[in-house]
Amino acid sequence: MTELWQLSAAGLADQVRRGSVSARDVVRASLDRIERVDPALHAFVDHRGERALADADAIDGARARGEPLGPLAGVPIGWKDNLVVAGERTSAGSRMLADYRSPFTATALQRLQAAGAVLLGRTNMDEFGMGSSTETSAHGPTRNPWHRDCVPGGSSGGSAAAVAAGLCPLAVGSDTGGSVRQPAALCGVFGLKPTYGRVSRYGLIAYASSLDCVGVLGRSVDDLALWLAATAGVDPADPTSVAAAPTTGAAAPAADLRGVRIGVPWQLNGPGLDDEVLATVQTALATLRELGAELVECSLPSVAHAVPTYYLLAMAEAASNLARYDGVRYGARRGEGTSCDAMTTASRSRGFGDEVQLRILLGTFALSVGYQDRYYGQAIRARELLRSDFARAFAACDLLVSPTSPVPAFPLGSRIDDPLAMYLCDALTVPASLAGLPALSQPCGYTAAGLPIGLQWTAPAFGEDRLLQVAGAFAAATDHHSRRPPA
């Protein structure tokens, strides 16, 4: 018999609406699973416990009264520790915000609650989203459910590990340069970064405002589609949010891929890839051909500059966004009784971790007088060239495909002291982020050691429905997503 924690979000919501299982039982199953499994993984920072059960009871009460239930009725959802919930702690994985409590709830989480979801608890993350391994968190690292000596990816590693280990069927993350897709690949789950602006960022603690997106990790394409339908849409509180045609709320995968033109950019499908990643993705491309897709060789010349462009822009915006944490306006205050300068220095040096301090310093330098146009201005121009490359590619293709990560999950601690090696983990995900395009990662195979490998799809702006359809067709033809880790 399938246990509740093994079911998808879509399956759980259907059972709750039909009354074959109570929302309380669903939430209780997740809490029990967290208690048994999470001490070894540390995917969650904390959970809401009795408050989540009370929310579930309210859903059961509404069903008993004959009231209609939402599309995510009773589904327990984890959320990354950089999305705020009114009256509850939100730390963004940092000592700087260890005691912060927000007066309001993020729009994306409000919309999930309106759709019937139950907020379960905060998931671990790299500090302020700055990392690719979930090792820079002030709460300590998260471990990969497939191999506990390996990283889960980052910065949404807690959300990815939670979904992979069956702690919750859906978890919200954020994706600035790949922080949903890369951990999805390393943990063997699905991950979606929507078009920039399609899901409100209101209530997301900012890292790099022109890149940050709220995204999701789940066990199926249908689950991603339900989440997107519930959260997408313009938000008056977020001036960067956009009105777009509503999604259907169902993936509706194509029976086959005949007539679909899939671009294979050589820059993302060969140079610098791990041998097992390359071989597995080549097998996936063969499956796409068998499904009837037309594979088209294409080029994204500016991808060669994507990683330095991304880090220049992200670090510059981070330096600006994080300037508010000075121990006066925001952030834990240190160095009481000293001068203002000494207090600010003490607050920031003790509140921020090493990686965050490094990125602030580099971003500040990139914006300094005499260097702004040389570095930041050049990065802006390189970003526009990349957008033009994507536009040319999509003139000949419907979607683009590549690996999600150049490497499978790597051992904890193996890259934490090598920033360049860590930054190159984002080489395949940052191009879509720089262009503001929707992208999706799904499992496509495993290494000889049993570590997951992810396949990444990129679509034109607001092409999420096509992403979900094609990913659904690939999932229906394979069983990679059905495997579960030993944790």
Q: How far is CA 278 from each of CA 45, 124, 404, 423, rounded to the nearest angstrom?
A: 35, 30, 11, 20
pLDDT value at position 371? 82
From 22, 30, 179, 241, the catalytic residue:
179
In a domain, 201, yes or no: yes
> Domains in the chain: how many in total?
1
* 170 membership: H or E segment, kind and range: strand 170-175
In a domain, 169, yes or no: yes
In a domain, 57, yes or no: yes
**Rounded to the nearest 5 degrees, what angle is found at the Cα of 379, between the Cα atoms of 128 and 236?**
55
Q: Within 10 A of 6 (CB to CB), how many other CB atoms are there?
A: 14
Specify whether 8 is catalytic: no
In a domain, 37, yes or no: yes
Residue of 105, 115, 123, 20 whose CA lies nearest to 75: 115
Q: How far is CA 179 from each of CA 88, 130, 133, 154, 437, rounded to the nearest angstrom?
A: 23, 9, 9, 5, 14
Token pair, residue 216, equals: 């999701």
Token pair, residue 80, equals: 């990354």
In a domain, 63, yes or no: yes
Write the CB contacts of 58 (distance below 8 Å, at least 6 apart in sequence): none
pTM, entire model: 0.96
From 155, 241, 347, 405, the catalytic residue:
155
| CA neighbours closer than 13 Å in the CB half-sphere of residue 248 | 13
* Cis amide linkage into residue 155, ω under 30° from 0: yes
Specify whether 179 is catalytic: yes
pLDDT-flagged residues of the chain (< 50): none
The domain that contains 26 carries what CATH number? Answer: 3.90.1300.10
Specify whether 433 is catalytic: no
* 109 membership: H or E segment, kind and range: helix 107-114
In a domain, 363, yes or no: no
pLDDT value at position 254? 64
In a domain, 115, yes or no: yes
In a domain, 24, yes or no: yes
Alpha-carbon span 169 to 3, nearest angstrom: 12
- Domain encompassing residue 41: 4-251
pLDDT value at position 341? 87
Write the CB contacts of 247 (distance below 8 Å, at least 6 apart in sequence): 225, 228, 229, 232, 464, 465
